[in-house]
Structure 1
Amino acid sequence: MSEANNNVSAPAKKKVYWVPLESSPDAMNKVIYSMGVGSSVGFSDVWGLDEELLSMIPQPVHALVFLFPPSDKLEEEKKKIAASSDNKVSPNVWFMRQTIGNACGTMAIFHALGNNQETLPISGDIARFFAKVNALSPGDKAAELEKDSAMAASHKVGAAEGQTTAPSADAKVKHHYSAFAIVDGDLYELDGGMPGPINLGPATDVLKAGARAIKSRISHFNDTSVEFSVIALGPSQSD
């Protein structure tokens, strides 16, 4: 019998893409409510990072979501920090790698929710997903997300909510998302494109500490025309 077929390679796995999520509290709230998060919490815009404007945000804030343009310099710096032995990460940090194309917005939502599971009204599909993946590695969490039709459907609900026409799923997007949350007394930046979470040091107030960290991130950009946005997860504004 010929052994020629023994050298045939398995077909390459096709990359999964989702339609990019608009940086909009309405879109993000559509996602989390579809997942099963209770309506007593929700996302709201952060209009500025100065103390006076931060005081207008519904509190307590559980996490921040930051939208920013790609920067090779910033990305390399973050990768170096994330991989450093000096970057001490609590085992209680919930982190998932991003393997789905254009899903960074919903990835930031997962990081915001995943690191606040004990304090948020979580049930339904998102509670089921967390129960399934909480003990898995960041890569295995991502693999489970790729197979989860309910999570994909919740993302799709939010992606259809944007005020602008949604691009195709495999379109090249111009911005990226990360999330900020406090775990075991330290502030973390959670970016699924990084090797792991980035410990930004001790903190007690995610809104104030996250705002300082985001200001530091923004300082990497010299172009004043560059657009950023910050969205906070806290009490629902409808309550």
Structure 2
Amino acid sequence: MSDEDESSGWHLTESDPGVFSELLKTLGVPLLVDDLYSLDPEALQTLKPIHAFIFLFKWVSSTSDERGGASGTYDDAFPGFFAHQVVNNACATLAVLNALLNIPSLTMGPQLQDLQAFTNGMDAQMRGLAITSSDFLREAHNSLSPPSAISLDGLGGQKTKEDAYHFVVYLPVAGCLYELDGLKKQPVNHGPVGEGGEGWLAKGREVIEARIATYPPGSLEFSLLAIHDDPLPSLQAQLESLQSSGNDLASASIVSRISQENEKRQQWAFENSLRRHNHVGLVHALTLALAKSGRLEAAAQQARVKMTERVEKAAAKAKAEGKEGHEMDED
């Protein structure tokens, strides 16, 4: 969950597949994370096998939290790994670990193996403390979410309370769908998953869609990602088999998919390099150049106009959505 400051030493994290995939790489885990824009079977098919869903949402307190949620119950006999969130801003990495350390026979790097062994037998609170005390994990978490280099403190502006967003995971453990939320006292059991068909994904879709339905229509206050196997080894094996059998048409299709995967990773690498870079020097140089050329005031005024237009557009959109929701309630 986010907070207004970063005094915990853990920085805010973007809900971005490139960021999460880089974190998994640092942890020595051969899995990827991708955005999900739909939970339809067709959308999930290309990512199978999927091991967990990472769900980001705007956090609000709820009376249903007392029993675990609208469709689940707290499970004090949860047989897997579960850690509490004990500091602000660590929920992204905590959610990832709550997922990874419940995936059977998962390959992981030596430092993550040591953490798993060290926390074996601890309760959720002690596991949370062990995770957030790990320099290795904090550095991996912060490497793609550097602290803000510009502070507005002392400028006389009125501080406003920002919405808090929070990461949780859904995954199958011991034949049931579990929700692992570091802010809840225990894992939430949403019931048994099917063995045939889509398996646990059908139950996951049901629970997540029911949760999304509690938001006003058209809301963009959540995002969903999937932790899944890296498809490249399988695609490359398929390509070699098709090429050896002389199936040129099918080979061309696999080559296209491999190319798309590589392009995606190149884009992630480029975006992550930008996240690691400190742009303050560039901003200072550009501002100085504008000032020396006498164009700074005009550029600042243009920026003010654009910002005002964006704020007014966002306010109008929010007002329209609120009115539409009210009319639907009246209907």
TM-score between both structures, scaled by the size of structure 1: 0.79
After the TM superposition, which of the residue ranges 15-24 and 180-189 deviates more from structure 2? Answer: 15-24
Find the residue that maps to 1:182 and give its secondary structure: strand
Query: Structure 1: any 5+ residue segments left out of the alignment?
Result: 1-14, 161-165
* Pairing 1:66–2:55 present: yes
Q: Judge conservation of contact 2:75–2:187 (CA < 8 Å) in 1.
A: no
Larger Rg, first or second structure (1 or 2): 2
Q: 1:131-146 to 2 correspondence within 5 Å? A: 131-146=117-132
CA distance in 2, matches of 1:26, 1:226: 20
* Pairing 1:115–2:109 present: no
CA distance in 2, matches of 1:54, 1:209: 13
2:89 is aligned, of 88, 97, 102, to 102
Q: Judge conservation of contact 1:23–1:229 (CA < 8 Å) in 2.
A: yes
Task: Give the CA deviation at 1:89.
Answer: 4.6
Q: Judge conservation of contact 2:74–2:186 (CA < 8 Å) in 1.
A: no
Q: 1:48-197 to 2 correspondence within 5 Å? A: 48-56=38-46, 58-73=47-62, 76-81=63-68, 87-116=74-103, 118-160=104-146, 174-197=164-187
Q: CA RMSD in A?
A: 2.3
Find the residue that maps to 2:211 and give its secondary structure: helix
* Residue of structure 2 equivalent to 1:224: 218
* Pairing 1:34–2:34 present: no
* Residue of structure 2 equivalent to 1:19: 11
Q: Judge conservation of contact 1:44–1:237 (CA < 8 Å) in 2.
A: no
CA distance in 1, matches of 2:162, 2:10: 12
Question: 1 or 2, which has the higher helix percentage?
Answer: 2
CA distance in 1, matches of 2:105, 2:37: 25
Equivalent pairs counted in the alignment come to 210
CA distance in 2, matches of 1:175, 1:91: 26
The change in CA–CA distance for 1:91 and 1:198 in structure 2 (over 3 A counts) is closer
* Residue of structure 1 equivalent to 2:227: 233
Query: Structure 2: any 5+ residue segments left out of the alignment?
Result: 1-6, 150-160, 234-331
Task: Give the CA deviation at 1:90.
Answer: 4.1
Task: Give the CA deviation at 1:206.
Answer: 3.4
Task: Give the CA deviation at 1:81.
Answer: 2.2
Find the residue that maps to 2:21 and give its secondary structure: helix
Find the residue that maps to 2:10 and give its secondary structure: coil
**Paired amino acid for 2:120:** N
Q: Judge conservation of contact 2:76–2:187 (CA < 8 Å) in 1.
A: yes
CA distance in 1, matches of 2:207, 2:126: 29
1:114-140 CA-partner distances (Å, limit 9, x unpaired): 111x33211221111111112100001
Q: Judge conservation of contact 2:32–2:230 (CA < 8 Å) in 1.
A: yes
CA distance in 2, matches of 1:91, 1:225: 33
**Paired amino acid for 2:24:** I
Q: Judge conservation of contact 2:90–2:132 (CA < 8 Å) in 1.
A: no
**Paired amino acid for 2:84:** R
Q: Judge conservation of contact 2:75–2:186 (CA < 8 Å) in 1.
A: no
Task: Give the CA deviation at 1:184.
Answer: 0.8
The change in CA–CA distance for 1:195 and 1:43 in structure 2 (over 3 A counts) is same
CA distance in 1, matches of 2:227, 2:77: 22
**Paired amino acid for 2:138:** A
